[in-house]
């Protein structure tokens, strides 16, 4: 009889826990503490599950560590300086990220960084990439080059380009795109600042992306940081300057070497989930991965010591660094 009562009490406790209310004292007799705690254990809210799934974070096939938490998928750049900036590693996928470049002439760098991120996301999510760009952007910064994207790692067959005429149409297209779940990524491009692009309109975009899980990368050429509801804001600049070397007379001359992989100086200016950060990145388009360029090199390079050019140049490919002062350097296609 006693065991039966204990059983009923235990079940009542369990029900109460499931329903989220405290069990009334009258219904509960003295239950052994061990039984109660054992019962409550699996029913705890999902904090523990969450952390557990985070601990189980692993590297996926591409090599970049990626997380699939129970709450929302995240993406990682594979660079500790940026991935570690948030409370959880990486960045939330289903939300809006903003990218700005202070000058329009940096459009190449800005496009490259966003294209690299879009490539990372497009590898994870199936579907097309909706690329929305203003007419002004087309005129000032140019159209997308399909062949360039192909070499960069993003298949142009997955690109759908939309060129709205007005800013309101642009925002409408972005809203429609970010709630279409069969899209992989939505990318928006604008030139300069617009008063239509305020907290309200960006908040609408964020809400839609969070509901659908489609990432929205919003690029603004030649723009300053403005109020926005985006999760992060990145300022993208061109990569570290080529190192200067001394010639025989001791004057600094530009080091004429080959160009190498796309690289950027990326500043994570705003991060709602964590702290801002900054990093120099290089894109390996063959493996579709980011590599971090050690900041040490660049600081030395700006100081102008002669030895600094070596690690940068060796990164440029499989070629040996070319000594300066040997005349023009011309790249030939490698014979296979």
- Which residues ranging from 56 to 115 are in contact with other proteins (CB under 8 A)? 105-113, 115
What is the DSSP track for 238-301?
E-PPPPEEE-TTS-EEE------S-EEEEEEEEETTB--EEEEEEEETTTTEEEEPPHHHHHHH
Residues 172-201: x where in contact with other proteins by CB under 8 A, - otherwise, as a string: xx--xx--xxxx------------------
Minimum distance from residue 55 beta carbon to other proteins (Å)? 33
Asked if residue 248 binds other proteins (CB under 8 A), the reply is no
Contact 101, 107 (CB under 8 A): yes
- The whole-angstrom separation of Cα 149 and Cα 151 is 5
Residue from 143, 296, 306, 310 touching other proteins (CB under 8 A): that is: 143
Minimum distance from residue 235 beta carbon to other proteins (Å)? 14
Is the Cβ of residue 24 or residue 323 nearer to other proteins in the bound state? Answer: 323
Contact 267, 276 (CB under 8 A): yes
Is the Cβ of residue 3 or residue 147 nearer to other proteins in the bound state? Answer: 147
Pairing of the two strands 263-271 and 232-238: antiparallel
Minimum distance from residue 210 beta carbon to other proteins (Å)? 18
Rounded to the nearest 5°, which phi and psi values hold at 6?
-60, -40
Asked if residue 52 binds other proteins (CB under 8 A), the reply is no
Residue from 257, 266, 268, 301 touching other proteins (CB under 8 A): that is: 257
Asked if residue 146 binds other proteins (CB under 8 A), the reply is yes
Asked if residue 306 binds other proteins (CB under 8 A), the reply is no
Query: Residues touching other proteins: how many (CB under 8 A)?
Result: 77
- For 302, the enclosing helix (H) or strand (E) is helix 295-303
Six token digits for residue 42: 């699996």
Is the Cβ of residue 17 or residue 316 nearer to other proteins in the bound state? Answer: 316
Contact 290, 65 (CB under 8 A): no
Residues in Cβ contact with 66 at an 8 Å cutoff, skipping those fewer than 6 apart: 57, 58, 59, 60, 74, 75, 76, 90, 124
Six token digits for residue 16: 């109460």
- The whole-angstrom separation of Cα 132 and Cα 164 is 8
The region of 13-21, 117-125, 225-233, 238-246 touching other proteins under the rule CB under 8 A is 238-246
Is the Cβ of residue 17 or residue 194 nearer to other proteins in the bound state? Answer: 194
Residue from 246, 256, 270, 295 touching other proteins (CB under 8 A): that is: 256
Minimum distance from residue 250 beta carbon to other proteins (Å)? 19
Minimum distance from residue 50 beta carbon to other proteins (Å)? 29
Minimum distance from residue 269 beta carbon to other proteins (Å)? 19
């Amino acid at each position: 009889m006693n065991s039966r009562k204990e059983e009923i009490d235990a079940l009542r406790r369990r029900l109460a826990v499931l329903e989220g209310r405290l069990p009334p004292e009258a219904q509960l007799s003295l239950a052994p503490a061990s039984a109660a705690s054992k019962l409550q254990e699996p029913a705890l809210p999902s904090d523990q599950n969450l952390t557990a799934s985070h601990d189980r974070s692993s590297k996926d096939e591409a090599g970049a560590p990626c997380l699939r938490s129970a709450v929302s998928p995240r993406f990682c750049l594979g660079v500790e300086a940026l991935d570690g900036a948030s409370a959880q590693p990486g960045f939330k996928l289903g939300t809006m990220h903003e990218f700005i470049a202070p000058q329009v002439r940096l459009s190449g760098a800005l496009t490259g960084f966003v294209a690299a991120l879009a490539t990372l996301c497009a590898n994870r999510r199936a579907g097309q990439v909706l690329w929305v760009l203003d007419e002004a952007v087309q005129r000032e910064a140019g159209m997308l080059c399909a062949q360039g994207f192909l070499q960069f790692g993003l298949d142009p067959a997955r690109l759908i380009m939309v060129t709205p005429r007005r800013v309101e149409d642009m925002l409408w297209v972005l809203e429609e795109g970010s709630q279409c779940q069969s899209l992989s990524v939505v990318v928006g491009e604008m030139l300069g600042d617009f008063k239509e692009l305020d907290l309200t309109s960006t908040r609408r975009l964020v809400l839609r992306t969070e509901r659908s899980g489609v990432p929205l990368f919003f690029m603004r050429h030649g723009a300053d940081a403005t109020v926005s509801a985006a999760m992060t804001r990145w300022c993208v600049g061109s990569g570290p300057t080529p190192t200067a070397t001394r010639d025989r007379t001791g004057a600094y001359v530009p080091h004429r070497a080959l160009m190498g992989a796309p690289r950027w100086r990326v500043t994570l200016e705003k991060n709602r989930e964590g702290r801002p950060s900054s990093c120099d990145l290089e894109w390996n388009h063959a493996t579709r991965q980011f590599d971090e360029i050690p900041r040490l090199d660049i600081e030395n390079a700006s100081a102008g010591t002669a030895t600094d050019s070596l690690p940068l140049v060796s990164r440029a490919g499989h070629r040996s660094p070319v000594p300066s002062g040997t005349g023009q350097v011309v790249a030939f296609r490698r014979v296979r």
